[in-house]
Structure 1
Amino acid sequence: MNKLSFPLAILAIVLSIFTFFYLNTSSELVYVDVNKLMEGYERTKVVRADFETKAKTLNANVDSLMVDWQNELKLYEKERSSMSKKELELKQQILSNKQQQLNNYQQAIQKQIQEEDKKATQTVINDINDYVKEFGKDNGFKIIFGASGGGNIMYADDVSDLTEDILKGLNAEFRGKE
């Protein structure tokens, strides 16, 4: 029995040392600040500028139609005293229909703007996620947490923050694609 306990003790020590070093190197926890990545990523600025231009154009179309409708309404109010009852009813019906169409168009444009915003944001998020995934693989990280200020990471040592490293690489990759 004594002959068996010495090799078991040696095996236990070797296993303990292996486990200690393996767990210490493979369980390093790191994170990135998602908000900083979104704000610091150069493509975010480009995508936002494109989106804002598109949204302004769409809103300008709605504003132009609204001004036209308001001018038509003012003209109606000036001329209504000289109109017959039938003409008044017809003009009111036309103005009411135009207002309804304008409201429907405005709602459709707002929905389109929201969808464009969501699509643009998702494009940036996909870029960031893809880059972080590759960065993690290339640097041997098993997990990279994303902190967004919502309380999912309440404290982390600055050494664990990969945000700046990832942001530099992400922007360099984006500049290379332009």
Structure 2
Amino acid sequence: MKKGLLVLGCAALLASCNNGSTTVGQKSAYVDTQKLMQEYEATKDVESKYKIKSDELGKELEADIASFQKEASSFQANAQAKGMAWAQQKGAELQKREQELSMKQQSIMQTLQMESGKEMDSIVKTVKATITDYGKKNGYDYIYGTEDASTVLYAKEEYNITDLIVKELNSKYKGTTAIKAADSKVENAE
């Protein structure tokens, strides 16, 4: 998410360049990109989707880990009774299984990060396009972004158009989700 916000901030900085010329009476505003991304419904939906997905996959992994731990405990109890050869063989099996569980956990995390990253990149593109369209439609010369690598160190609150952009993004997003819901109802009816 921070990567997307940083990209958004950099894009706003690049968009603010005007070949070094300055003109009196330029219209400018800024967007609090962190607030924008927190309040944008699409961002909330993606975060929720991947939290649920992470929880589901985590439960599967937790079950595997619990089974492994039970087997490891059993190994320790039986090691002396069953002899050195058995202990070495079983120990190697447990070590292999532990590595497999670790690789499975890493794979799950990488997959979730890749998938959510793609969706967040798409959201950032939508946000940038919406800000650009909003700026053009409303006659802005500059729209700056704020974030950790801030391009706005100070601005009067009256120049903050974050809420207007969030409202526009969410109204467009609600429209697309309503269309998707209607399409899925039609597909289910067929």
TM-score range, shorter chain: 0.7 to 0.9
Structure 1 counterpart of 2:52: 53
Which residues of 2 match residues 25-44 of structure 1 at below 5 A? 25=25, 27-44=26-43
C-alpha separation in 2, matches of 1:116 and 1:58: 14
What is the distance in 1 between the residues matched to 2:145 and 2:34? 9
2:64 maps to: 65
Counterpart of 1:91? 90
CA contact (8 A) 2:46 2:116 kept: no
Counterpart-to-counterpart distance in 1, 2:150 and 2:130: 24
| Deviation for aligned residue 1:143 | 2.3
Displacement of 1:74 after TM fit?
1.4
The residue identity in structure 1 corresponding to 2:73 is K
- Residues 68-147 of structure 1 mapped to structure 2, 5 A cutoff: 68-147=67-146
Number of residues paired by the alignment? 156
* Percent identity over paired residues: 25
C-alpha contact 1:51 1:120 (8 A) present in aligned 2: no
The answer for the alignment partner of 1:14 in structure 2 is none
Match of 1:12 in 2: none
**Greater Cα offset, 114-123 or 151-160:** 114-123
Q: Give CA deviations for 1:28-59 in whole Å, capped at 9, x if unaligned.
A: 22111111111111112111110101111222
AA paired with 1:40?
E
- Supply the AA of the counterpart residue of 1:99: E
Could you tell me how far 1:89 is from its partner in structure 2? Answer: 1.4
Q: 2:160 corresponds to which residue?
A: 161
After TM superposition, give the deviation of residue 133 of structure 1 in Å: 1.4
Query: Partners in 1 of 2:53 and 2:62 — Cα distance?
Result: 14
**Bigger shift: 81-90 or 116-125?**
116-125
**Letter paired with 2:76:** E
The CA distance in 1 between the partners of 2:84 and 2:147, in whole Å, is 63
The whole-number CA distance in structure 1 between the counterparts of 2:88 and 2:39 is 58
Contact 1:48 1:120 in 2 (8 A): no
Q: What is the match of residue 176 of structure 1?
A: 175
- The amino acid of 2:35's aligned partner reads K
Label 1:78 to 1:114 Cα distance change in 2 as closer, same or farther (>3 A): same
The one-letter amino acid paired with 2:157 is D
Please say if residues 27 and 139 of structure 2, whose CA atoms lie closer than 8 Å, have aligned partners that are also in contact. no
Name the SS for the 1:156 alignment partner: coil
**Alpha-carbon distance in 1 for matches of 2:101, 2:72:** 13
Q: Distance in 2 between matches of 1:110 and 1:43?
A: 22
Unaligned runs of 5+ in 1: 1-22
- 1:52-81 CA distance string (max 9 Å, x none): 011112222221111111111112122223
TM-score, structure 2 length as denominator?
Answer: 0.73
- Give the number of the structure whose alpha-carbon radius of gyration is greater: 1
